[in-house]
């Protein structure tokens, strides 16, 4: 006979256990950081266009510094000391000169305050983002010390979030970890025969992203193999083995880069 009450009771226990896992906090934090980044990027684009009406000559690739300048700079009465604090003496001098000769519109104080309110909100969101990133890194270190040591805390957190938990990540093979985050490219490869992806999220590791394109696939495979071992240690044995894993990974990367350098030199002859 079908025991509906018993099944529901077991389901409640399992759901409650899943929710109480600290992995879930990390998954939510990673999602929060992604959404904050998207929101900040959109708001910064709007601020650049909006503040550009007032001061079109000013540009700065650092969104935080751009918002700080938009919040405090009055072209008619610039605060030179604050400008130097934010941009440094040399850059501040250039901005001051541009402000004096700007072709921007002469807006009212109300107009300027409205623009500045957006800059203020961007800075507040940046502050929240930094706090969330610090919390994410701390939580990743707590839940997956081996993975965090080999991959870096931010990448470890993203891998755990993509898998759903440390336990689920620990059961994945290295080949799956290598292409996590590149599912669209993988499905396209399976469907149409296009080149398979060589890496997904792990491309964010500096030893992959800064290496020559020719060897990124090899480095990605090596990293994925070590991450798979690290994840299993975090998920099952709980032993800290990351120092040896990272040394082995670095040696293999050095060998791959040396071989590529030799190949390039031979090709030039």
- List pLDDT tens digits, range 44-71: 999 999 999 999 999 999 999 999 999 9
Enumerate residues 6+ apart whose C-beta is below 8 A from 226: 150, 245, 246, 248, 249
145-268: CATH topology is Serum Albumin; Chain A, Domain 1 (1.10.246)
Delimiting residues of CATH 1.10.287.4070 domain(s) in the chain: 21-135
| CA separation, residue 109 to residues 49, 114, 229 (Å) | 18, 9, 60
Q: In the chain, what is the greatest distance between 2 CA atoms, to the nearest angstrom?
A: 85
Asked whether the predicted pLDDT for residue 255 surpasses 70, the reply is yes
Q: Which residue has tokens 């077991």?
A: 10
pLDDT at position 221 is 96
Asked whether the predicted pLDDT for residue 33 surpasses 70, the reply is yes
Enumerate residues 6+ apart whose C-beta is below 8 A from 36: 125, 128, 129, 132
Right CATH number for 21-135 from 3.40.47.10, 1.10.274.10, 1.10.287.4070, 3.30.2320.20?
A: 1.10.287.4070
Instruction: Give me the helix-helix angle, 80-87 and 89-100, nearest 10°.
Output: 130
| CA separation, residue 204 to residues 58, 60, 150, 155 (Å) | 31, 24, 13, 7
3-state secondary structure of 56: coil
pLDDT at position 7 is 57
pLDDT at position 192 is 83
3-state secondary structure of 172: coil
pLDDT at position 8 is 52
Pick from 14-23, 92-101, 196-205, 227-236: least confident: 14-23
| CA separation, residue 262 to residues 210, 248, 257, 269 (Å) | 18, 21, 9, 11
Delimiting residues of CATH 1.10.246.90 domain(s) in the chain: 145-268
pTM for the complete prediction? 0.85
pLDDT at position 139 is 96
What pLDDT band is residue 183 in, cutting at 50, 70 and 90? confident
pLDDT at position 6 is 62
């Amino acid at each position: 006979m079908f025991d509906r009450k018993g099944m529901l009771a077991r389901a409640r226990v399992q759901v409650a256990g899943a929710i109480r896992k600290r992995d879930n906090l990390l998954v939510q934090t990673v999602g929060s950081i992604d959404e904050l980044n998207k929101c900040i990027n959109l708001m910064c684009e709007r601020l650049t266009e909006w503040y550009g009406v007032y001061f079109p000559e000013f540009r700065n690739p650092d969104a935080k510094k751009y918002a700080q300048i938009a919040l405090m700079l009055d072209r008619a009465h610039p605060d030179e000391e604050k400008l130097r604090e934010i941009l440094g003496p040399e850059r501040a001098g250039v901005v001051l000169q541009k402000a004096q000769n700007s072709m921007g519109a002469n807006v009212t104080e109300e107009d300027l305050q409205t623009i500045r309110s957006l800059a203020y909100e961007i800075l507040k969101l940046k502050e929240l983002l930094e706090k969330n990133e610090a919390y994410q890194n701390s939580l990743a270190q707590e839940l997956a010390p081996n993975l965090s040591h080999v991959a870096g805390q931010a990448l470890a957190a993203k891998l755990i979030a993509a898998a759903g938990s440390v336990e689920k990540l620990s059961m994945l093979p290295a080949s799956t970890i290598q292409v996590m985050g590149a599912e669209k490219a993988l499905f396209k490869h399976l469907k149409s025969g296009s080149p398979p992806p060589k890496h997904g999220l792990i491309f964010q590791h500096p030893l992959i992203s800064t290496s020559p394109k020719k060897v990124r696939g090899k480095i990605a495979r090596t990293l994925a193999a070590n991450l798979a071992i690290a994840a299993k240690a975090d998920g099952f044995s709980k032993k800290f083995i990351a120092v040896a894993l990272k040394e082995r990974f670095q040696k293999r990367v050095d060998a791959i880069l040396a071989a590529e350098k030799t190949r390039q030199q031979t090709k030039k002859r």
